[in-house]
Structure 1
Amino acid sequence: MEFCDDCGSMMKTEDDMWVCGSCGYEKARDAEADKKAVTTQGQESSEVVDTSEVDPQDMGPTTGARCPECGNDRAFYEMKQIRAADESETRFFTCTECEHKWREDDH
């Protein structure tokens, strides 16, 4: 991502140039810098994390989270980055009593 040196607006690419859509300023693209750029392309979908084969003693730490199934107030938890890096992690819970699994996302 590039920002205009003149007005600070985000620039777009046109062939081998960066072009500002606001003021028209142009500058040449740097091929080496473009290779180092991180994109979110290909990170649009998330995957399901299956913890059904994990033994309860291997689930890790617990927290005070109320199970929506049985009302128990303790659950194992795990945090995973399943969306783009600029979005918050998803918390996965497993009830310590009934082993119901649910997740919690920040929106």
Structure 2
Amino acid sequence: MEFCDECGSMMKVEDGVWTCGSCGHTKARDSDNEASMVTTQGQENSEIVDVSEAEDNGLPSTKVKCPNCENDRAYYYMQQIRSADESETRFFICTECEHKWREDDH
């Protein structure tokens, strides 16, 4: 991500140069600097949570009905999978059949 030196707005790449969408200021691209930038593609790799042997890993459990086997207990963990201004998603792992599902916002 690059910001405009003139007005501070976020810039985008147009015709091989950084261009400000607000004031039109342009600046040459710096491939060494861009290599260290975090891209949206780089953010897609989220942390993988190992839920095998959930009880031994200290995951809390709660009373909730498993959609697979109708058991009434599951381990759960919270993970931020959307933008920071949205709530975390709660994931469940059935204590009996180890079926995994998530709680959707309604």
TM-score in same-fold range (> 0.5)? yes
CA distance in 2, matches of 1:8, 1:56: 47
Give, in angstroms, the shift of residue 101 of structure 1. 3.0
> Residues 68 and 43 (structure 1 numbering): CA distance in 2 closer, same or farther, change over 3 Å?
same
> Residues 2 and 106 (structure 1 numbering): CA distance in 2 closer, same or farther, change over 3 Å?
farther
Task: Determine if contact 1:75/1:95 at 8 Å carries over to the other structure.
Answer: yes
RMSD over equivalenced CA pairs, Å: 3.9
CA distance in 2, matches of 1:41, 1:56: 30
Give, in angstroms, the shift of residue 95 of structure 1. 2.9
Give, in angstroms, the shift of residue 50 of structure 1. 9.2
> Residues 96 and 105 (structure 1 numbering): CA distance in 2 closer, same or farther, change over 3 Å?
same
- Which residue identity lines up with residue 22 of structure 1 in the other structure? S
TM-score between the two structures when normalised by the length of structure 2: 0.58
- Which residue identity lines up with residue 64 of structure 1 in the other structure? T
Partner of 2:22, secondary structure, is coil
- 1:43-82 alignment, distance < 5 Å: 54-55=52-53, 57-58=55-56, 60-67=58-65, 69=67, 70=70, 72=72, 74-79=73-78
Name 1:41's counterpart in structure 2.
41
Partner of 1:37, secondary structure, is coil
Give, in angstroms, the shift of residue 37 of structure 1. 0.8
- State the identity %: 59
TM-score between the two structures when normalised by the length of structure 1: 0.58
Give, in angstroms, the shift of residue 99 of structure 1. 4.5
Task: Determine if contact 1:89/1:105 at 8 Å carries over to the other structure.
Answer: no
CA distance in 2, matches of 1:56, 1:20: 49
CA distance in 1, matches of 2:9, 2:20: 7
Name 1:104's counterpart in structure 2.
103
Q: How many equivalent residue pairs?
A: 100
> Residues 13 and 101 (structure 1 numbering): CA distance in 2 closer, same or farther, change over 3 Å?
closer
- Which residue identity lines up with residue 28 of structure 1 in the other structure? A
* Structure 2: gaps (5+ residues): none
> Residues 71 and 2 (structure 1 numbering): CA distance in 2 closer, same or farther, change over 3 Å?
same
